[in-house]
Amino acid sequence: MKGATLAATIVSVALATLLFHAIVHAVAGVWLDLLLRPEVRAVVEESLADQKTLRGLDPANATLYRKRFDERQRLLNRIEVIAISRERMLQRFESALSAIFAATLFAATFLWTIRHQREQERRRREYSDRLSAWQEASRRHAHEIKTPLTAARMEVDRLVSLTNADAPPADVRRAIESVNEEFDRLVRFTKEFSSFAALGQPLLRGEDAAQMLNDFCAMFANAWPDLTLRVSATEGVMVNADRDLLRQVLVNLVTNSAHAIRSQGREHGSVAFTVARAGERVVIDVSDSGGGVPLSVQPRIFEPYVTTRKIGDGMGLGLAISRKILLDHGGDLTLLASSPAGTTFRLTLVRSS
């Protein structure tokens, strides 16, 4: 969408400038053609002859007729010069208009780029502000949940001890197991709240992007036996990064990919990592073969508590945490593409010198 807006802006400016070029060129050509028409030359030559005749008939005003004669003669000389250099004049005129066209196009592109960058920066600041508010809310939620959760678990343990611990009735055993499962789920959610609230600032240092990805694949390949992880990148592309925090981002992304592939009932899938330079930035694309992100979710994909999983499978904090980590790196995390054939997320990082 952003690329389409840029293209539309440039095309509009180009068409407007070309139209101006054509109109001015046509007008200039018409004026030159009018000036060089034989009738115009004939009128000027006739005026020269008239001044000679009038000077002879009216000697008292001979000086005036002489002045008029010289003026007509200069005009005739200019017409001769224009006739000789007409093509060269048009070429210079076209060169000037082409320079104006190029300058206008460059200015439009430059201004659009500046505006686009400022808009992106404004949106990143707004997102960071919202994340800070969400982090504070998560911290409070985690704090409020922990105390009663701990107390409730202790009461359940005490209740169990009051029953026949060696051979509790089957229905009591099932009830205890069910309660403990719910406690475990609450503990898991509380840890996610705490993790989101306690995100620290990255400790940046120069890292080889390809080497970092290869190390990640080697370390976590067994965590997703139903996924094939592969890296398509040459070593030597350095980024400013906190390896541990970026590992957390990659874990979140690949875990989401595994869930997307399993939700389709497929036994195996793949995740590919690619690295590319982009000026002073480095982009890492993470592409999977899952079923894509629903269109209704895409605009809010990085907001906390937004998830495509069923209730109880997650809090929807993984992508929010991941983007916060990238923003703290001075970069960003974006949804680059999504379709039934798969999804690609892009990590943008600052290039290390």
Any idea where the domains of the chain sit in the sequence?
2-123, 130-197, 205-350
pLDDT tens, per residue, the chain with 353 residues? 444 555 555 556 566 655 555 555 554 555 455 555 666 667 767 777 777 787 778 788 888 878 887 887 777 777 676 666 666 766 776 777 677 777 777 877 777 778 877 877 777 777 777 777 776 776 776 667 777 777 777 877 777 777 655 666 777 777 777 887 777 777 777 777 676 666 778 899 999 999 999 999 999 988 998 899 999 988 889 999 999 999 999 999 999 899 888 888 888 899 999 999 988 999 999 999 988 888 888 888 888 777 766 655 556 778 888 998 999 899 999 999 998 889 999 999 999 87
Cα separations in angstroms, 98 against 14, 24, 30, 79, 107: 11, 12, 19, 26, 14
State the pLDDT at residue 18: 57
Q: What are 339's two structure tokens?
A: 């379709």
- State residue 165 phi and psi, 5-degree precision: -65, -30
pLDDT value for 25: 53
From residue 3, give the alpha-carbon distance in Å to each of 7, 10, 95, 318, 337.
6, 11, 30, 28, 13
**Tell me, what's the pLDDT at 282?**
95
> Which of 3.40.50.300, 3.30.565.10, 2.60.40.10, 3.40.50.410 is the CATH number of 205-350?
3.30.565.10
Q: Which of 51, 86, 56 is nearest to 72 (CA)?
A: 51
The backbone torsions φ and ψ at residue 276, rounded to the nearest 5 degrees and listed phi first, read -150, 145
Contact 325, 199 (CB under 8 A): yes
Residue 80: closest CA among 116, 126, 36, 25? 36
CA distance 173 to 311: 25
Rg from Cα positions in the chain: 38
Instruction: Give the residue among 83, 73, 15, 74 at the shortest CA–CA distance from 49.
Output: 73
Taken in order 139, 324, 298, 259, the sign of the CA dihedral is negative
Strand partners, 229: 271
**What pLDDT does 239 receive?**
95
Q: Alpha-carbon distance 297 to 235, whole Å?
A: 35
* Cα–Cα dist 338/297, whole Å: 11
pLDDT at residue 166, as a whole number: 61
On whether the CB atoms of residues 289 and 299 are closer than 8 A, the answer is no
Which phi and psi (to 5°) does residue 334 adopt?
-130, 155
Closest CA to 185 of 137, 224, 125, 145: 145
Helix locations, the chain, DSSP H = 2-35, 38-57, 62-162, 170-197, 209-220, 243-263, 318-328
For the entire predicted model, the pTM comes to 0.58
